[in-house]
Structure 1
């Protein structure tokens, strides 16, 4: 099992991080609580935005417009997981990702799969704003845009 250090990987158009499953993520049934899966996706989204250099300090925000998760296989403590994002679509002001949680020891074992849609919004008004050419260039560092 890894330490609290997060490993970021980018391969073949995906963004992946390795996270440890924490003891406190479990529920009374001794498996990871369903809400924790959404926190794992959240952590990966934040790391992605930070890696893209589009995090805090900009005049625009990335707002979560949609999050879904299909729970495929129970996740047990202790474990390390890989949380991945693959770009599906870039709209005028939105971006859609396929996301997954896999076992870090065997990434063919999927524990969950979902979708996330983010919207680029003006920091002052909260209204959606289009992606800029600069945004698309930054995205192309990790994904095919």
Structure 2
């Protein structure tokens, strides 16, 4: 299991597992767990009204996942995002993935670090103030 620091819930995302997500072994391929976490992060940022553009957006600087149970289709997943450490241009996020039908079973836990980048200059820039305020209001 990933050691979660004391954090507060930022966002809950509901996601339907597609039949096309299944691999030749009849389960969701491990690489898609990262896609699911990314989809949840994008939905969270969009819910804040953050404009994800070609000019500036988050870039994943680090990602890991602890796989606890295989995911199968059809399932509805719940992905919860928690805040970790916040820096000038970076934010650490922790994810818990479970099935809507079995909330007591954790299927995976993940950790990502996103860095806000201006793609035109190719450098990190400060996190948007809207993100910083939202996280700081919810962080322990």
TM bracket (short chain): 0.7 to 0.9
Deviations 1:63-95 (A, max 9, x none): 111111111101112111001110011012110
Question: Is this contact kept in 2: 1:52–1:139, CA < 8 A?
Answer: no
Match of 2:16 in 1: 20
From 88, 106, 121, the equivalent of 2:102 is: 106
Q: Report whether the alignment pairs 1:38 with 2:34.
A: yes
Q: Which runs of 5+ in 1 are unaligned?
A: 1-11
User: Of 91, 104, 108, which residue of structure 2 is paired with 1:95?
Assistant: 91
Paired with 2:23 and 2:61, the residues of 1 have a C-alpha distance of: 27
Q: Which has the higher contact order (CA 8 A, sep 6+)?
A: 2
Matched position secondary structure for 1:74: coil
1:144 to partner: Cα distance: 2.4
Q: Which residue of 2 aligns with 1:73?
A: 69
Aligned-partner Cα distance in 2 for 1:64–1:28? 28
Q: CA deviation at 1:130?
A: 2.2
Cα distance in 1 for residues equivalent to 2:129 and 2:14: 30
State TM-score, norm by structure 2: 0.83
TM-score (normalised: structure 1): 0.81
Structure 2 segments unaligned to the other structure (5+ residues): 1-7
Taking the aligned partners of 2:14 and 2:78, their CA distance within structure 1 comes to 5
